[in-house]
Structure 1
C-alpha cells in the first residue's frame, strides 16, 4: 500500500529560513577567504564549509525531513544521519578550497560546482536512507534526475556568488536565491520519493526520535551560525580599520616628505 504524505508548512518555512541564514553566514565567511592570503585562510574555508554545508544545507535538509508527515512512525539511524553531515561539510569545503586557489577560472568553477553538487545530492539521499520505518522507498527517475541537476547548478551558482559579491544587499539577495535553490533540490528529491508499506517490524525505539533530532539540530546550528556571523563581521570590520589606518599612515608619510619647489 502506498502511503499518503503531506508537509508541515511551518517547518517548511523554518527550513527555508535556516537555508537563507546559513547561506548569508557562509557568504560573509567567504569574504574572509578572498581577503586573506595567510595561514588563517584555511580557518575561513572550514568555517564557510560548516556554515553552508552543515547549516544552510544539512540543517535545512533534516528540518525538511521532519516536515514530511506520514501516518507511520519514523525514526533515524544515528550513524547514517551524522555521516550525511560529514558528507555535506567535506564536499562543500572541497569545492570552496578548489575555487579559492583560482577564483577567476571558469573551468575550476564548473569542476568545483559539479563535485560539490553531486556531494550535496549524495548527502540528501544518504539522509533519506537514514529513515527507519516499515516501508520501502522508491524514486521517480525524472524528478530524481532533476533534483541532482538542481544540486549541481545551485552549488555552482553558490560558489560563483561567494567569490564575486561584496555589497550587503547583494549578499542578502544572493542568500535568498541560494536558500530557494537548496530548498528546491531537497523538496524536488522528496517529491520523487514514494513510500510503500512492507509490514515489517522495525525497532524504532533504538533510533533518534524525529522531533527531538530536529529541535537539537535547529538550536545547535543556529547557535553556531549566529556565533560565526558575529565573529566574522567583527574580524572583517577589524581588518577594514587596519587597512584604513595603513592608508592614513601612507598618506601622512607622503605629506611629510619634502616636495620639490
Structure 2
C-alpha cells in the first residue's frame, strides 16, 4: 500500500527562499567569468558561481525540501550518498558554467552545457532520494521521472543563459525568483514520481548512523543563507575595491 505524503510548509517556503538567494548569488558571481583575464581567475569565478548555484540554489533546496516531506515514518539519510549528491550538484553546475563561459557564447554551446548540467542536477536529486533510510520501499513513475529530467535541463539552460546575458540587479532579482520556481518545480516533480510502500518495518543497513531530520532543515537554511550572504558581500567589496584601483 502506498503511503500518504504530507509537507512541512515552513520548510517548503525555506527551500524556495534558499533557491532564490542561491540563484541571485550565482548570477552576481557569474558576471566575473567572461571578464576573467587569466585561467586561474576564470576557474575561481566558475567555482564560486558553481558553488552558489549547485550547493546553494539546488542542493540545499533539494535537501531542505526532502526534510519537508513527511510520509508518516521516521526517515534518516545516508551520509555518504548525501555528500555525493552535493558533490554532483556542484560539479554539474561548475561544468555547465565552464562550458558556456569558455569561448564564444552560442546556442549549441548552451544546449550542450544545459544538458550536461541538467542531467547532473537530476542525478543529484535521485542520488539524494536513494539516500533515504526508512522502513519502506521506493517506486518511481517513469513518465514523471522523465518529466523531472526535462525540467532540470530546461531550468539549467535558463540559468546559464541568464548568467551570461543579464547584468542589472532588478533583472537578476526577477530572474532569481523565476529560477527558484524552476528548481522547485524540478524537485517536486521528482518527488511526485516517487511512491513509498511500507516493507513491514524492516530497517535498512546504516539506519542507526543516518542523518536525522530534527531541526536539520532550519539549520541547513541558516548556514547556507549566511554563507551566500557572505559571498555576496565579498563580491561587492571586491567590485568596489577594483573600481577604486581603476580610477
TM over 0.5: yes
**Aligned-residue offset at 1:103:** 4.5
1:122 corresponds to: 123
Counterparts of 1:24 and 1:127 in 2: how far apart (Å)? 24
Give the secondary-structure state (helix, strand or coil) at the position aligned to 1:163. Answer: helix
Give the secondary-structure state (helix, strand or coil) at the position aligned to 2:181. Answer: helix
User: Do 1:134 and 1:198's aligned partners in 2 also have CA atoms closer than 8 Å?
Assistant: yes
Q: Aligned-pair RMSD on alpha carbons?
A: 1.3
Deviation string, structure 1 residues 196-249 (Cα, Å, up to 9, x no partner): 111142263321101354244223212221111111111123333444x1xxxx
User: Do 1:18 and 1:59's aligned partners in 2 also have CA atoms closer than 8 Å?
Assistant: yes
Residue 26 (structure 2) pairs with residue 26 (structure 1):
yes
Q: Which runs of 4+ in 1 moved over 4 A?
A: none
Deviation string, structure 1 residues 156-194 (Cα, Å, up to 9, x no partner): 110000000001101110111111100000001101110
What TM-score, normalized by structure 2, do the two folds share? Answer: 0.95
**Count of matched residue pairs:** 244
**Aligned-residue offset at 1:45:** 0.8
Which runs of no fewer than 5 residues in structure 1 stay unpaired?
246-261
Which runs of no fewer than 5 residues in structure 2 stay unpaired?
none
For residues 1-261 of structure 1, the aligned pairs below 5 Å read 1-38=1-38, 39-202=40-203, 204-243=207-246, 245=247
Q: Which shifted more, 47-56 or 96-105?
A: 96-105
What TM-score, normalized by structure 1, do the two folds share? Answer: 0.90
User: Do 1:76 and 1:131's aligned partners in 2 also have CA atoms closer than 8 Å?
Assistant: yes
**Aligned-residue offset at 1:117:** 0.1
